Structure 1
Amino acid sequence: MALELRWDPAPSDWSDALRAVYPMYRWAPWFGIGLGALAVVLLVAGQPVPGFFGVLCALIIVAMPMVAVWAQFRRNPVAAATVTATVDEQSFRMMTVDGTAYTDLRWSTMAGWVETRHNFVLRTGGSALFPVPGRAFGEQEDLDGFRDLLRQQLGEPSKR
């Protein structure tokens, strides 16, 4: 089985991948909402300084992961380049259309994978993540074939 994929990366792909793999990104919005609720209680209780400080901190906590991903995505000129990929039983090869970046990921070097609602997230043994969005697949059969290939090469998906 060989697949040809193509997609335009988006910051939401990276945010989704980070939330799937790192608990800090997954739980930050909930922590911010909880802190914001406590800050509102302080405001209602007549404590404006700690209340406003709590609201400000809550907004920062909720926004920080999204802003960090957006800033990193905009800072890296290769991040937004259209990606093509070839997938077979030996490896997953990605290249930008303009040829500025190339990655050959052998299945034997991969640590695992996670499937989210929008992406497949391939993980190496280190901290590298490779989100492959569902929109990269032309047909449902291709998406199902890719999932089957991942199970064959890497085992079952990791739990989030």
Structure 2
Amino acid sequence: MALTHIDEHGKASMVDVSDKPMTCREARAFARISMQTETLKHIVNNSLKKGDVLAVARIAGIQAAKKCADLIPLCHPLALTKVGIEFEVDEALSCVDILSYCKLTGQTGVEMEALTAASVAALTIYDMCKAVDMDMVIEQIYLLEKSGGRRGHYQRESTMGKSS
């Protein structure tokens, strides 16, 4: 399979999507941030000085999805119609799992937006908690699922570190 963002001369190039049909496109992504047990308790109890960690991380993830084209070279600016961020607190593993969702009707996919949303939500959790725990680890950032477009539906077979 040829790389789509390289032109015939081997130079980076933004893909021309003008001939692609408008279709409903959706993507879901995952990220995990692991931390000390005490840090997770602070998040759950909303007892950090910086405020409600998960509420701020949700807004940051949504904003990041909307700014993806400004952050990732060669991404198309997209008119997203939905961005969602959900959190699952796993006390047994002392982590927060982040699930992002992006949707639009357009000519290119929203995978990068979903991945960026999950990543920035995790970075925001790190930023808000670093005063009490600099040993946090952001890990397992990956695409869970995408639909729409020429390649159709994709769903990750393995959920890697997901506890279930």
Could you say whether these structures have the same fold, taking a TM-score greater than 0.5 normalized by the shorter chain as the test? no
Q: Which has the higher helix share?
A: 1
TM-score, scaled relative to structure 2: 0.29
Q: Which has the higher strand share?
A: 2
Q: Which has the larger radius of gyration?
A: 1
Report which structure shows greater RCO (CA 8 Å, sep ≥6): 2
